[in-house]
């Protein structure tokens, strides 16, 4: 699995976790939701940086 595929896999996993937490919890400000959302943000930033470094965007 290359770097892009690995990050996409992580993104899909975190999105699934976040969606599950949102359905389960009563408040969006629950610590688990915030933590998972922040993890997702960090992985999205890694993905964006990698894509830019590989030249997939102009």
pLDDT given for residue 48 in this prediction: 95
End-to-end CA distance of the chain: 25
Q: Are 18 and 33 in contact (CB under 8 A)?
A: yes
Q: How many residues does the chain have?
A: 58
From CA 32, how far away is CA 17, in angstroms rounded? 10
- Reference 46, options 2, 11, 16; nearest CA is 11
The pTM (predicted TM-score) of the whole model is 0.87
The pair phi, psi for residue 33, each rounded to 5°, is -65, -45
pLDDT on residue 57: 62
Q: For the chain, which ranges sit under pLDDT 70?
A: 57-58
């Amino acid at each position: 699995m290359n770097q892009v595929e690995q990050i996409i896999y992580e993104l899909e996993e975190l999105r699934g976790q976040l969606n599950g937490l949102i359905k389960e919890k009563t408040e969006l400000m629950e610590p688990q939701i915030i933590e998972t959302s922040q993890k997702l943000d960090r992985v999205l930033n890694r993905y964006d940086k990698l894509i830019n470094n590989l030249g997939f965007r102009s």
